[in-house]
Structure 1
Amino acid sequence: MSHDHDDRPRLTPAQAEAALNPPPGRNGGDLVVETLHGLGATTVFGLPGQHALGIFDALRRSSLTYIGLRVENNAGFAADAYGRITGEVAPLLLSTGPGALTSLAALQEAASASAPVLAISSQIPTAGLGGGRHGYLHELRDQQASFRDIVKSVHTVRTASQIPSAIAAAWESALTAPHGPVWVEIPQDVLLAETVLPVVTAMDATPRELYPRPELTVAAAHLLSNAERPAIIAGGGVVRSDATGKLRALAEKIGAPVVTTFGGKGAFPWEHPLSLRSWLEDRHTTDFLESADVLLVVGSGLGELSSNYHTFRPRGRVIQIEADAGKLESNHPALGIHSDAREALADLLDAVEPREDRTAAERVRTVLEKVRARIDAQDLTLEQRVVASVREALPDTAPSFWDMTILTYWAWSAFDARHPNTMHSAQGAGGLGYGFPAALGAAAADPTKPVLAVSGDGGAMYSIAELATARQYGLPVTWLIVDDGGYGILREYMTGAFGEATGTELSRPDFVALAESFGVPAVRTTPESLTDDLAKSLAAPGPSVVVLPALLRMFEPTHL
């Protein structure tokens, strides 16, 4: 029996010579950074710690760019954004115990948003492993257990020779659809021990493609071709798989209106005649989607926000394309197609018959007019002006990262993300403090574009330390802080539910003076001057802060 070895990695003569004569002074940490470099990494995020020093010392001998943040959770948010913007794996270097655990909320967001983050954590020395209590600093009885419920896969290393294979397996897992965070842990002594293993050069961790089953494509195409009132819900999977062009072509071919989820902002052109935009917390939109006789859901699990708080009850046939098998039919019975969105849309586009629908654009216009009338009746001029001002000031291709704050809740529905993969928020897991550190990660990915971060004053306090990071690396991030003196959305929720709010009012710093103390230019603005102040800050090099004192209100969502 013969085997075809053509796809095996091969060494150049120089690499083969180098393999026989590894340079002296290398340790397990060098194997980590060599493997990352061999897999294509260029930038790593993290925070050093006692057990992880072998990796950080090895960075000094590598060409990898290191971006060090001040809190591990913020480093995780930065890596998350880097992964979202580039579609590439974002390595996150962490210490043991408290350092590792502090990243958990960020890894939960990466899991919810399918961001390919490769967390590499140190561990206590191998002699202390095994679930006992040896009294090592940072020791956990079972560190992996803290991460197993959150990440896609866990990879453990116990010897130096295991390092390249473990990191390559984790890399492949992170990039296999659906993308997500993965976890590698390596003991301190393995990282510090000198190694005579050859330099890692030929690495391959090609993710598996996830294609739709052809019989399901035929069935879905038949349903869509013969539908009377088809409609499409486009989620984050469309953006992540770079399928926005395929989505538009399919929608136009079958005349189907499209609504984008909050995670799928930019998946379909906002001003397109078939665009229902993103008004998911609106009964007019929900009614329209329920009335579709065939509903195509692409790259969304139809979770709480996408289903208008689980009030959505489709009456027609549902077709669901989803890379995460666990989300297939998890909320609604459907023709479930387990596939990457791009591959499935490409096959559907070939298989459907064109259908003409002269009423689709008119029906879309009617829904949007009803939504507009409902919002206009709520006396929310200030809020709409602020959303419009941010849109006017932000260059079309500049990425924006939004924390969990009232302005973000508005932006999910009302902000026109003019290009795919430009608007991101923490709506996957919903933790505070995402906006600013995530924007720093995006700026590290592409420093040629200004990046906008949006926070409330409450969420901003989670990330103040990262003003030092922004200044240290000169990252072009403008941070808009909407200061309403507390946790504004929680204030609204509690007042509505209980008549008064508890624990929502906050003492806070003078954000302008605080930013300036970090060497970051800052300005206090008004709703009237917001567009100009924001545009000036975005146009200036390096980091900046714009503070808007304003009490914004949420529009009334309609579930009934």
Structure 2
Amino acid sequence: MSDAISCGSRLMQLLRAYGVDTVFGMPGVHTLEAYRGMNAAGIRHIGVRHEQGAGFMADGYARMSGRPGVCLLISGPGVTNAATPLGQAYSDSVPVLLISSVAANKDLGMGRGRLHEITDQSQVTAPLTAFSAIASDPEQVRELVARAFAVFETGRPRPVHISIPLDVFKAMDDKPVTRRSARGRPAPVAEDAAEAAKLLASAKRPVIIAGGGSLGASDRLRKLAEMVGAAVVPTIAGKGAIPDSHPLALEATLDRPATQALIASADVVLCIGTELAEPDIWLDGPLPMTGKIIRIDIDAAALARDYDATVALHADSSEAIDMILSALPQVTAGGFSGSNEIASVRATERAALTPLERKHVKVLDALRRALPADGVVYTDMTQLAYTGYAFFPTERPKQWFFPAGYGTLGYALPAAIGGQIAAPDRPVMAIVGDGGFQFTLQELGTAVEQKLPLVVLLWNNDSLAQIRDGMIARDIPTIGVNQHNPDFIKLAEAYGCLTASPQSTGELEAALRDGFSAQRPTVVVLREDAAFLRQD
């Protein structure tokens, strides 16, 4: 039996046993016992400037690494500040573990006005998590951590919140830590896979819609598409599931008319790991599909939602595609192979770009030239990114991260910090707008402190432009959308960042390349009305 230590110290050992080596957080008087044992457990702490930043960093870390991102925060305001990152992680199926303090067991629900008190803290985050629970003793801490990692490893990887009462943090714990093995993800039913293979093999116009749940099966997905000649349309979360340069690939234009028309004409549509949610299609109702539908999803509820599927496989996408490939005949109908129809649809979508979107594409093309092949982009909710999720070329999975479902502002900078921490040898950049940047810009301090070669491209139009444009289109007064901005260059320099204000495409590319090799962050401010962007 090991020597007794505080439950907070034992918690750090427990996390390490589950493979956690980094925690994002802000120390508080109620979480001190966790910090007591952090160094001894071999866990690195990344200190943040705001609890929201900790949540987004954990999200960005998880998306890049494929491992759960962990944040450690105080009860009350720490939890409510982290609620927005939990909502984003829930919407985008990201494994984030929030561990927080909560009032001592004897004070729970008593309304005594204790510091940071919430009447029922677990209920605050319950709608934003796979589960939110309070550990009443050290044994329940072990139990709930095990359950959290079971969620991450066996099902749809949504966030989890574990609250630990103050008296439990301090309680002595003499039991050694062990990692419990979770069962694997659900396996496909062979008969269903065979039926899916039969439909795909006979299809004349097969289409695959590749969602975020397909990213881990990208090689298999490409092989399947090539065997049956399927056009592949990635969702925003599925961007990179197939290289944009592949002749069967459409860009992430699921929300655009020509791509939707192609899908409507398909005789078989295979949907892999996608809800086909509103931010994917931007339609009032379901995506029009007249062909037979095959769905593969690890979330059983998604298989029965909104669409009538001819075949539904409740399974991990890799295993399901493998089984379908094994059941395919050697000769199929051919589909779109050898056709120029996909290239024509892509050209049609590009030709329909608005003048503002063409300006965006000019910037995005410069970014693509400057960003190394293994580079990664985290984006905020900003018009440049709205164009970019469709038209920024990617050749690999997990190179473009966008907060699609929850749609929060302020995501990109802290998430990119988390991504850079997870992959220090890969070039990482954040695309932010002037409005959203001000939600979390204080995390520049974290990036400087960690000496990250992170590049932040700030798209500045002195407004909340998407909302402003919507007001103008509806003949609504432009109230609250034309904010006063600071001098972003001086602000970034005050934090210790390098800065650039490019006045040409060449200067933009040079600033980005220099930033990726720097020993601290670089903020590149690019005005939407820059003269060189007005030139054709």
TM-score (normalised: structure 1) = 0.91
Residues 350-397 of structure 1, C-alpha deviations (whole Å, 9 max, x = no match): 11224252754311122122222222x757542221111111111121
Residue 315 of structure 2, aligned match among 326, 331, 339: 339
Aligned to 2:145: 167
Aligned to 1:148: 126
* C-alpha separation in 2, matches of 1:308 and 1:163: 42
Residues 178-198 of structure 1, C-alpha deviations (whole Å, 9 max, x = no match): 111111111011112333x13
1:521-536 to structure 2, matched below 5 A, reads 521-528=498-505, 529-536=507-514
Aligned to 2:468: 491
Residue 425 of structure 1, aligned match among 402, 410, 422: 402
> Are 1:107 and 2:83 matched, yes or no?
no
* C-alpha separation in 2, matches of 1:356 and 1:538: 47
TM-score (normalised: structure 2) = 0.94
1:201-216 to structure 2, matched below 5 A, reads 202-216=178-192
Residue 261 of structure 1, aligned match among 215, 232, 235: 235
Q: The residue matched to 2:37 in structure 1 has which SS?
A: helix
Aligned to 2:156: 178
Question: Cα gap change, 1:85/1:207 in structure 2, threshold over 3 Å: closer, same or farther?
Answer: farther
Q: The residue matched to 1:101 in structure 2 has which SS?
A: helix
Aligned to 1:556: none
> Are 1:366 and 2:347 matched, yes or no?
no
Does the 8 Å contact 2:203/2:333 carry over to 1?
A: no
Question: Cα gap change, 1:442/1:173 in structure 2, threshold over 3 Å: closer, same or farther?
Answer: same
Aligned to 1:468: 445
1:254-403 to structure 2, matched below 5 A, reads 254-309=228-283, 310=285, 312-334=287-309, 335-353=311-329, 354-357=331-334, 359-360=336-337, 361-375=339-353, 378=355, 380-403=357-380
Give the CA deviation at 1:333: 1.3
Residue 72 of structure 1, aligned match among 44, 51, 64: 51
Aligned to 2:74: 95
Aligned to 2:27: 48
Aligned to 1:557: none
Give the CA deviation at 1:234: 0.5
Aligned to 1:8: none
* C-alpha separation in 2, matches of 1:443 and 1:257: 33
Does the 8 Å contact 1:49/1:96 carry over to 2?
A: no
Report which stretch shifted further, 360-369 or 473-482.
360-369
* C-alpha separation in 2, matches of 1:44 and 1:518: 23
Aligned to 1:405: 382
* C-alpha separation in 1, matches of 2:60 and 2:481: 28
Question: Cα gap change, 1:125/1:259 in structure 2, threshold over 3 Å: closer, same or farther?
Answer: same
Q: The residue matched to 2:362 in structure 1 has which SS?
A: helix
* C-alpha separation in 2, matches of 1:472 and 1:422: 25
RMSD of aligned residue pairs (Cα, Å): 1.7
Structure 1, unpaired ranges of 5+: 1-18, 553-560
Aligned to 1:434: 411
Question: Cα gap change, 1:380/1:191 in structure 2, threshold over 3 Å: closer, same or farther?
Answer: closer
Does the 8 Å contact 2:468/2:481 carry over to 1?
A: yes
Does the 8 Å contact 2:231/2:336 carry over to 1?
A: no
Give the CA deviation at 1:499: 4.7
* C-alpha separation in 2, matches of 1:313 and 1:333: 12
Give the CA deviation at 1:207: 4.7
* C-alpha separation in 2, matches of 1:311 and 1:177: 25
Aligned to 1:455: 432
Question: Cα gap change, 1:194/1:521 in structure 2, threshold over 3 Å: closer, same or farther?
Answer: same
Give the CA deviation at 1:132: 2.3
> Are 1:117 and 2:93 matched, yes or no?
no
Give the CA deviation at 1:311: 5.9
Residues 198-232 of structure 1, C-alpha deviations (whole Å, 9 max, x = no match): 342x3124353221122211211111111121111
* C-alpha separation in 2, matches of 1:464 and 1:379: 26
Give the CA deviation at 1:527: 4.8
* C-alpha separation in 1, matches of 2:511 and 2:343: 34
> Are 1:230 and 2:209 matched, yes or no?
no
* C-alpha separation in 2, matches of 1:286 and 1:364: 12
* C-alpha separation in 1, matches of 2:169 and 2:356: 61
Give the CA deviation at 1:282: 1.6
* C-alpha separation in 1, matches of 2:68 and 2:346: 39
Give the CA deviation at 1:500: 3.9
Aligned to 2:175: 198
Structure 2, unpaired ranges of 5+: 531-536
Question: Cα gap change, 1:518/1:378 in structure 2, threshold over 3 Å: closer, same or farther?
Answer: closer
* C-alpha separation in 2, matches of 1:307 and 1:419: 23
